[in-house]
Amino acid sequence: MGSLSIITLGFIPSFNGHIIVPNHFESLSEEAASPPPSPFHSGTIIWCLGPIGSNDEFEEVVGIPLDSDEEAYKKGLESVAWLSLPFNDKSINKLARYFELSGLPTLVIIGEDGKTLHSNVAEVVEEHGIAAYPFTPDKFAELSEIDKAKEASQTLESILVSGDQDFVIAKDGVKVPVSELVGKTILLYFSAHWCPPCRAFLPKLIDAYQKIKEKDNNALEVIFISSDRDQDSFEAFFGGMPWLALPFGDSRKAFLSRKFKVSGIPKLVAIGSSGRTVTKEARELVDLHGADAYPFTEERIKELEAAEEEIAKGWPQKLKHESHEHELVLTRRRIYNCDGCDEEGRVWSFYCADCDFDLHPKCALEKKESKHDEANDEDKSKHGWVCDGEVCTKA
């Protein structure tokens, strides 16, 4: 293999092989976020690549600074031995566009012929460090098999215990050993009070949690993993939750965030009673199904989807409605806002994709029924619709 160049967008490898990356989990939410944190003054050393800089296969490492503060840039540059583009260099934005930068960190591998070998190996380096080298398809396939083996052997203790950190806490500060949670379904709840989507989701999660616990008090536990900015904020937010938490500032948070690829909050990861990961998208399941999503397994979701299909049997696949000029198509829409009644809808919508227009089945079919009744009450019993809540059935 010839020499390689590494371009780093938003983070800089230091002289001893560490990578400094933006501590972006602290400020990233699903809302439009503020500009990315500095790759220097917000940097956090998170793992060691080893003496990669002495490897003859590598020609150079070049940092692409995205810092908005020149003093912070200069200070950060003192701690690295690799090359860097100058602060506010005209080519920075051009490179960001060329490599289609969509998030941080980004680590681009360039071959000796100047061609891009890989557009972003940051994630695999996060997980495997120097073992990711030389970033070839064969190496990625090898690492994928390693990942699968780790997933198959995962236990609750393997992800929640680190040395003496073998506990979580209750609201009164009492330590709860992780060993006492083994055998339960565990939801890892990544959240923060400063994040509006997190505050909006919390009541839904509390409702689902309480309903599940009412049926079986030992079936489920939630562990709050905070991205709050200080102890007081953590305690205030945690105080309104009926479950457990990692202590504020606990080092296990960084490991869990990397493992489950937490790039936005709120995020809800379901760990099954066996200790293996069931789904990393439990937030969407709670949003859509509430307590009925438990135990969040693929089998349970298939059951719920089959029930939803049964509900829609007999509904027209397409219809015209007086509230919209175009034909509406029966569509799975998860969660949406009905343009008829301005209330939240879920699962099924009569939808116009061109206009992003939604109608509840209730609104779409009930309106049709009402007009028909005025013309012929007798025909209603044959062809009308009876709507109850968000479910409509033939009369």
Q: Is a pLDDT exceeding 80 seen at residue 291?
A: yes
Q: Is a pLDDT exceeding 70 seen at residue 315?
A: yes
pLDDT of residue 108: 87
pLDDT mean over 131-148: 89
Task: Label residues 32-61 b or e (16+ Cβ within 10 Å = b).
Answer: eeeebbbbbebbeebbebeebbeeeebeeb
pLDDT of residue 105: 76
pLDDT of residue 6: 57
Q: What percent of the chain has pLDDT over 70?
A: 77
Q: Is a pLDDT exceeding 50 seen at residue 376?
A: no
* Encoded tokens for 244: 């457990």
Q: How far apart are CA 201 and CA 214, in angstroms?
A: 20
Contact 335, 344 (CB under 8 A): yes
11-25 pLDDT per residue, tens: 433 333 333 333 332
Higher pLDDT, 9 or 329: 329
* Dihedral of alpha carbons 184, 187, 188, 189, sign: negative
| 3-state secondary structure at position 178 | helix
pLDDT mean over 23-33: 31
Q: What is the pLDDT confidence band of residue 92, given thresholds at 50, 70 and 90? A: confident
Q: Is a pLDDT exceeding 60 seen at residue 194?
A: yes
CB atoms within 10 A of CB 81: 12
Q: What is the pLDDT confidence band of residue 79, given thresholds at 50, 70 and 90? A: confident
Q: Is a pLDDT exceeding 90 seen at residue 324?
A: yes
pLDDT of residue 361: 93
Q: What is the pLDDT confidence band of residue 202, given thresholds at 50, 70 and 90? A: very high
Query: Of the candidates 321, 314, 303, which has an alpha carbon nearest to the alpha carbon of residue 360?
Result: 321
Contact 118, 143 (CB under 8 A): no
pLDDT of residue 180: 97
pLDDT mean over 362-389: 53
Q: How far apart are CA 80 and CA 83, in angstroms?
A: 8
Q: Give me the residues paired with residue 234 across strands.
A: none
For the ranges 8-17, 55-64, 114-123, 363-372, the lowest mean pLDDT is seen at 8-17
Q: How many residues does the chain have?
A: 395
For the ranges 40-44, 65-69, 131-135, 254-258, the lowest mean pLDDT is seen at 40-44
Average predicted confidence (pLDDT) for the chain: 79
